[in-house]
Amino acid sequence: MKKVILFSVSLVIGVALIVWIYQHIGLRGALLKFSDLLLWQMVALFLLALFKVVFWVARWWVVLKMMGFSNLSFRKLAAARLGEFAISYLTPGIYWGGEGIRIFALKNNFNIPLSKGLTSIILDRLFDVIGFCFFIFIGIVVFFFERNLNAVLFLGLLILLPSLLLIFIFKFPGLERILSFLARIFRLEKIEYIKRNKESLRRVGRETVDFFRRPLLQVGTAVILTILGFFAGVCQIIFFLAFLGEHFSLFNSMIMKILIVISGFIPLPANLGALEGTNVLVFQGFHFTAETGLGFSLITRLVDFSFVILGILILIYYFGNYLFSKIMNNKKNNNGLMGQ
């Protein structure tokens, strides 16, 4: 009941926030920016988002392969990733919440133990953290040489928490603490299997740390895929502005993307209002109009919702098949008992 109340309150806040933003800035101006895009330009922005998803799945596939699991269907991994994305997007905080979908998909589709699936998810999320730190570090270096100390201080504060997380994991590898801490951060402790098997999952922390002791070339592949996924999101901003006749530097687009990513951690369902408000502030901070920021929010929402709908359809398909197989197995068992 408590969770339902919290979700309802956060949903009301998100809806109220997004209505307030559109009332004060104006939906018409944002729609005009959106309507300025030609069909092929919208397709290009969609393809960039698709590339980002492909890089995510490829990184997860690489992680699993390095863990010793081969002959994995990329299509089934992509389906699990989209299913997770749909659940995560609709829960407060759009970057987590649906990880259990991937863990159980690995178990059902490839017979990968749940603990190994959990390890792969934690590793996948850690590469997100590493990639985020990488781009912030680049921003700090560039702003330092530009003598923009305020920006250096701001980005330094942004990188502090994820850096402390990585230091905690690799310098103070208390296995039980690593597992419980990461499970809490990524909300994995809500999965029933993890609740029941906390003691037996100590090895997950050990495997997480040991994974990064592999040759740099192997780990570097996953890092490169992380960078490419983030870069696809940066290109969305560059292309969007270019399609509107605006020219913007790669570095500034990268900083904009970092700031927009942060809004995804605000605990509102589908990031309602938070994404729109952040886009407006970020675009205005780089001397673009509020309508341009809202226009980018609209195209982002359109692309995201297309993936969410696809993910929901995938979940319905697999859940339907799962129920059907359960019913058929029960029938067989009952017929067998009656035959005896």
Pinpoint the alpha helices (H) of 146-172.
Answer: 149-171
- Domain that includes residue 211, residue range: 2-332
Taken as a whole, the chain contains a residue count of: 340
Which residue intervals of 172-273 are DSSP H helices?
175-185, 192-196, 202-211, 216-243, 250-262
User: pLDDT tens-digit profile of 19-44?
Assistant: 777 777 777 777 777 777 888 989 99
Residue at 339 is within a domain: no
Q: pLDDT value at position 228?
A: 92
Q: Which residue has the tokens 């988002």?
A: 49
Angle between helices 114-145 and 149-171 (to 10 degrees): 150
Least confident of 52-56, 187-191, 259-263: 187-191
The answer to whether residue 327 sits within a structural domain is yes
Q: Is pLDDT above 90 for 284?
A: no
- Domain annotation covers residue 338: no
Residues in a beta bridge with 92 = 269
Q: Does residue 198 contact residue 227 with C-beta atoms inside 8 Å?
A: no
Residue 245 domain-assigned? yes
Mean pLDDT is lowest, of 187-191, 225-229, 332-336, for: 187-191
Q: Distance (Å, rounded) from C-alpha 29 to C-alpha 180?
A: 47
- Which of 166-170, 208-212, 307-311 bottoms out in mean pLDDT, i.e. has the lowest? 166-170
* Tens of pLDDT, residues 205-262: 777 777 877 777 778 888 899 999 999 999 999 999 998 888 777 888 888 888 888 7
pLDDT (tens digit, 9 = 90+) per residue, 58-89?
Answer: 999 999 999 888 888 899 999 989 988 888 88
pLDDT score, position 173: 52
Tokens at residue 229, please?
A: 């996924």
User: Is the Cα torsion angle 259, 30, 313, 97 positive or negative in sign?
Assistant: positive
pLDDT of residue 168: 66
pLDDT of residue 332: 63
Structural domains counted in the chain: 1
**Does residue 10 have a pLDDT over 90?**
no
Identify the pLDDT of residue 54: 94
Distance from C-alpha of 58 to C-alpha of 203, rounded to nearest angstrom: 25
Q: Angle 141-145-148 (CA atoms, 0-180°, nearest 5)?
A: 90
Residue 186 falls within a domain, yes or no?
Answer: yes
- Whether residue 243 lies inside any domain: the answer is yes
Q: How confident is the model at residue 189 (pLDDT cuts 50, 70, 90)?
A: low
Other beta carbons within 10 angstroms of residue 337's beta carbon come to 8
Q: Which residue has the tokens 């987590």?
A: 96
pLDDT category of residue 340 using cuts at 50, 70 and 90: low
Global pTM value:
0.81
User: What is the pLDDT, as a whole number, of residue 239?
Assistant: 92
**Position 337 in a domain:** no
At residue 306, the 3 state secondary structure works out as: helix
Model confidence over 108-164: pLDDT tens digits?
888 888 888 888 888 888 888 888 888 888 888 888 887 788 878 877 887 777 777
Q: Is 340 a domain residue?
A: no
Q: Provide the percentage of residues in the chain whose pLDDT is more than 90.
A: 13
What mean pLDDT is predicted for residues 188-202? 57
- C-alpha–C-alpha distance, residues 337 and 331, integer Å: 10
Q: Please write the tens of the pLDDT for every residue from 320-332.
A: 776 766 676 666 6
Q: Is 241 helix (H, G, I), strand (E, B) or coil?
A: helix
User: Mean pLDDT across the chain, nearest whole number?
Assistant: 79
Q: What is the largest CA-CA distance in the chain?
A: 84
> Where does the pLDDT of residue 57 fall: very low under 50, low under 70, confident under 90, or very high at 90 and above?
very high
Terminal alpha carbon distance of the chain: 46
